[in-house]
Amino acid sequence: MPLLEVNGVNLSFGGLRAIQNLSFEVEDQEIVSLIGPNGAGKSTALNVLTGIYPPDSGEIRYRGTSLLGLKPHAITALGVARTFQTLRVFLNLSVIENVMTGAYCHSHSSLLATALRLPSWRREEMRIRSLAEKNLAFFGDRLMGYRHDQPAYSLSYANRRRLEIARAMTTGATLLLLDEPAAGMNPNESAEMTELIGKLRDEAGYTILLIEHDMNVVGNISDRVIALDYGQKIAEGTFESVTSDPKVIEAYLGHQTGGEA
């Protein structure tokens, strides 16, 4: 059974058909990339997967459980976490607190235990904190040490992207949906991010669905690539086969002079 199954999903905004009959699967421990020109519907697809927009029709299953009708937090609790293209870190919370918020869905201290700081609360808080520290440590020195207590707004864009990933990891998810994790990064940082996404799968065992415009990133780590255009899947397969597919080339050149490929 695939980890994630998307079957015949449709979504339109008024007259705009943002997602049309989209079907694909993601296997356990796979890295799948979604590509496509601007406005193709990639982010919208993630929004549908995470319950932000209910689809008009279609089926979405995670480990066989249907995600339809579930609130975003419930989907996260099942094990699907994401990052945002337009960075949505909690700017006025500290770095470590940002990451710790991710642990809400698998922590249980009661209000009473919290208000009285009972030992059970203490143990859980320790667990959350060390989990957050461990996940931040995944990014090497970038988010370590004194940075833990800095407010998130003091971070650079690249670090905010890393912070979002750490926050998603802390939810305890196995499937990470990353929306353009290398956007706004310089080539060095992109390369580092590519390596990191590989490590996320190889060392930490995550399954990853990735949206990315940077073809160096996509080409280096993807097991499989899915191309979207106007909300429709136009190609699927290995990086080489998809990027040489005439439909994909046309999609990129057709309405985007230059293209990134």
Partner 1 sequence: MPSDPSENGKTTPEKGAGTEPPRIGTDEWVAQVASRKRQTRGFSGWLAMRWERIPLGWRFGMVLSLLILIPLATNTQAFLDLLGISNNAFIVRTATRFLVFALLAIGLNVVVGYAGLLDLGYVAFYGIAGYLYAYLSSDFVRIGSLGIDGLHVPALLSIPLIIAVTAMVGWLIGTISLRLSGDYLAIVTLGFGQVFVQLVLTSTRVRVPWQDRPVNFTRGPNGINRLDDVTLFGYTFESTIQYYYLFLVLLVLVYIGVRHLNFSRVGRAWRSIREDELAAEVMGAPTGRLKILAFVIGAGIAALAGSVDAAWQGNVVPVPRYSVLTLINLYAMVVLGGIGSLTGVVIGAFIFTVLPEVLRSSAVAGVLFYGAGLIGLYFLLKPFKRYALILIGTVSSGFLLKFLVLTLLPGLHTGLPEPGSILNQAVQSWLVIPADYKLVGNVVTGLSALVLLLTILARQRPRLFYPLLGISIYMLAFSWETRLALEPSATRILIVGATLVVLMIVRPHGLLGKPEVRVV
Partner 2 sequence: METFFSLLPQTLVNGLTLGSVYALIALGYSMVYGILKLLNFAHGDIYMIGAYLGYGVFIMFFTEQGALIPTALIIVLMLVVAMTGAGVISIVVERFAYRPLRYAPRIAPLISALGVSFILQNMVQITVSPRPLSYGSDTLIPRNAIFELGDLRIHASRLLVIGAAMIFMLFLTYFVRQTRLGRAMRAVSTDLDGAAMMGVDVNQVIVLTFFIGAALAGAGGVLVGIVFFSLRHTMGFLAGLKGFTAAVVGGIGSMPGAVLGGLLLGLAEAFTSVYLSATYKDVVAFVMLIFILLVKPSGLMGKPLLQKV
Ligand X SMILES: Nc1ncnc2c1ncn2[C@@H]1O[C@H](COP(=O)(O)OP(=O)(O)OP(=O)(O)O)[C@@H](O)[C@H]1O
* Contact residues: partner 1, CB under 8 A: 50, 52, 71-74, 76-77, 81-82, 84, 88-93, 97-98, 100-107, 109, 111, 114-117, 121, 124-125, 128, 140-142, 144-147, 150-151, 153-154, 156, 158-159, 167-168, 171, 186, 188-189
Q: Which of 24, 62, 84, 252 forms a contact with partner 2 (CB under 8 A)?
A: 84
Rounded-to-integer distance, Cα 82 and Cα 169, Å: 9
Looking at the DSSP assignment, which residues form a beta bridge with residue 80?
175
Q: Does residue 174 bind Mg ion (CB under 5 A)?
A: no
Listed ranges 40-48, 59-67, 132-140, 166-174: which one lies at the site for ligand X (CB under 6 A)? 40-48
- Nearest distance, CB of residue 82 and partner 1, angstroms: 6
What are the start-end ranges of the E strands in the chain? 4-13, 16-26, 31-35, 57-62, 65-66, 80-82, 175-179, 207-211, 224-229, 232-237
Distance of CA 261 to the CA centre of its chain: 22
115 binding partner (options partner 2, Mg ion, partner 1, none; Cβ < 5 to 8 Å by kind): partner 1
In the DSSP assignment, the letter for residue 168 is: H
Near partner 2 by CB under 8 A: residue from 37, 45, 47, 251: 47
Beta-carbon neighbour count of residue 244 at 10 Å?
13
The nearer residue to partner 2, 46 or 152, going by C-beta atoms, is 46
Q: Single out the segment in contact with partner 2 by CB under 8 A; choices: 45-53, 101-109, 112-120, 168-176.
A: 45-53
Q: Report d(CA 192, CA 48) in Å as an integer.
A: 29
CA dihedral 236, 237, 240, 242 (to 10 degrees): -10
User: Binding of partner 2 at residue 78 (CB under 8 A)?
Assistant: no
Q: Which is nearer to ligand X, 71 or 108 (CB)?
A: 71
State whether the Cα torsion 77-82-84-87 is positive or negative. Answer: positive
Burial class (CB in 10 A: 0-12, 13-18, 19+), 106: middle
User: What percent of the residues of the chain are helix, what percent strand, and what percent coil, each to the nearest 5?
Assistant: 45, 25, 35
User: Applying CB under 5 A, which part among 16-24, 29-37, 38-46, 74-82 lies near Mg ion?
Assistant: 38-46
Give the Cα separation of 1 and 27 in Å (integer). 8
Q: Least distance to Mg ion from the beta carbon of 231, Å?
A: 12
* CA 135/CA 157 separation, integer angstroms: 18
CB of 28 to partner 2, least distance (A): 27
User: Does residue number 234 form part of the binding site for ligand X (CB under 6 A)?
Assistant: no
The correct pick among 38, 145, 246, 258 for binding ligand X (CB under 6 A) is 38
The site partner of 128 among partner 1, Mg ion, ligand X, none (C-beta below 5 to 8 Å per kind) is partner 1
- Which of 7, 10, 52, 59: binder of partner 2 (CB under 8 A)? 52
